[in-house]
Amino acid sequence: MRYAVLSDVHANLEALSAVLAAIDVERVDTILCLGDVVGYGANPNECARMLASAGAKCVVGNHDRAALGLRDTAHFGHKAQQAMRWTQRMLGGPAHDWLASLPLLRKASPELLLFHAALHPVPNDDLHLSSLSRLEKSLRALRDGGYGTRIGLFGHTHHAGAWRARDGAFGPAPGEMVKLDDGAHYLINPGSVGQSRDSDPRAAFAILDMDQGVVWFRRVAYDTTLAMAKVAALEAKERCGIAAWLSARLPLGLFAGQRR
């Protein structure tokens, strides 16, 4: 099986459209989405509809659950809270129902487990796997938690990468192409489609070929100017205070507080 793996679309229709166009030439069997379809961007309904129409196998993310009113946003940043308020107002019935149908965990195949954020201390959509220590704990949960899978696919951090555990050793598996060793366990993050935070503004995704045992990390450019203009138009109506913040970050692939 050959999969396209994507995450953290954040209602960025321009980025998602560019990624889906790139996926079209990859001849994949299935699209896997690791959550946060909505939040921040101007097109939550359209992004949900596109993924549903593509038959994507998805899990729910923390922004998705917040948009559904299923989680508190007190720990969200101020701009994320502002964006979430108008996302909730914009979210239509079909998109709402589709997001509400998504599970927290999903076994996409006998070898693949999908989740948004972390598997420890219990499966959740909150914890950032932003350190080797945290990554190793979630990989141990993947290996020892009774899931029966050896590859965990996750998002949430907006940073692409792969990490491998084998014969008692754990660490990153670097490169734009990673060969998956038989008998090893892996965590793989495709990066963010709609809001890159690794100093590369292009949309990120991955191609996972289980027959070849290879994952490729891909990037594709999209119209950040149009994506920002849509948010600015919403700002005039919603006064959410997020347009200037996104304008300073989206074209640079940065996040609040980051500097090159």
Spatial contact of 186 and 119, defined as CB atoms under 8 Å apart = no
Nearest to 244 by CA among 9, 79, 85: 79
Please check the confidence at residue 121 and state whether its pLDDT lies above 50.
Answer: yes
What stretches of the chain show up as alpha helix (H) in DSSP? 13-24, 44-53, 62-67, 78-90, 93-100, 132-144, 224-238, 243-249
Contacts of 72 by beta carbon, 8 Å cutoff, 6+ apart? none
Spatial contact of 21 and 222, defined as CB atoms under 8 Å apart = no
Q: How far apart are CA 204 and CA 25, in angstroms?
A: 16
Q: How far apart are CA 252 and CA 84, in angstroms?
A: 23
Q: Residue written as tokens 């050959």?
A: 2
Q: What is the mean pLDDT of residues 59-76?
A: 94
- End-to-end Cα, the chain, rounded Å: 38
Burial (Cβ within 10 Å: 0-12, 13-18, ≥19) of residue 2? middle
Beta-bridge mates of residue 98? none
Q: What is the mean pLDDT of residues 88-92?
A: 93
CA distances from 55 to 29, 31, 83, 180 (A): 10, 7, 27, 26
Task: Note the CATH number of domain 2-252.
Answer: 3.60.21.10
* DSSP three-state, residue 244: helix
pLDDT band at residue 211, thresholds of 50, 70 and 90?
Answer: very high
Q: From the CB of residue 69, how many other CB atoms can be counted at a distance below 10 Å?
A: 13
Residue pLDDT, tens place only, 126-163: 999 999 999 999 999 999 999 999 999 999 999 999 99
Q: What is the mean pLDDT of residues 201-206?
A: 98
SS3 letters across 20-86: HHHHHCCCCCEEEECCCCCCCCCCHHHHHHHHHHCCCEECCCHHHHHHCCCCCCCCCCHHHHHHHHH
Domain residue limits, the chain: 2-252
Which residue type occupies 226?
L
The percentage of residues in the chain with a pLDDT greater than 70, rounded to a whole number, is: 96
* DSSP three-state, residue 184: coil
Q: What is the pLDDT of residue 254?
A: 82
Please check the confidence at residue 114 and state whether its pLDDT lies above 50.
Answer: yes
pLDDT band at residue 191, thresholds of 50, 70 and 90?
Answer: very high
Please give the order of strands across the beta sheet that includes 161-166: 105-109, 112-115, 151-153, 185-189, 161-166, 169-172
Considering only residues 191 and 83, tell me which one the structure prediction assigns the higher pLDDT. Answer: 191
Q: For the ranges 4-18, 39-53, 228-242, which has the lowest average pLDDT?
A: 228-242
Q: For the ranges 12-26, 51-65, 231-245, which has the lowest average pLDDT?
A: 231-245
Please check the confidence at residue 27 and state whether its pLDDT lies above 80.
Answer: yes
The percentage of residues in the chain with a pLDDT greater than 90, rounded to a whole number, is: 82
Residue pLDDT, tens place only, 222-260: 999 999 999 888 877 766 667 777 777 888 898 654 443
Q: What is the pLDDT of residue 86?
A: 85
Q: What is the pLDDT of residue 255?
A: 67
pLDDT band at residue 15, thresholds of 50, 70 and 90?
Answer: very high
Q: What is the pLDDT of residue 256?
A: 52
pTM of the entire predicted model: 0.95
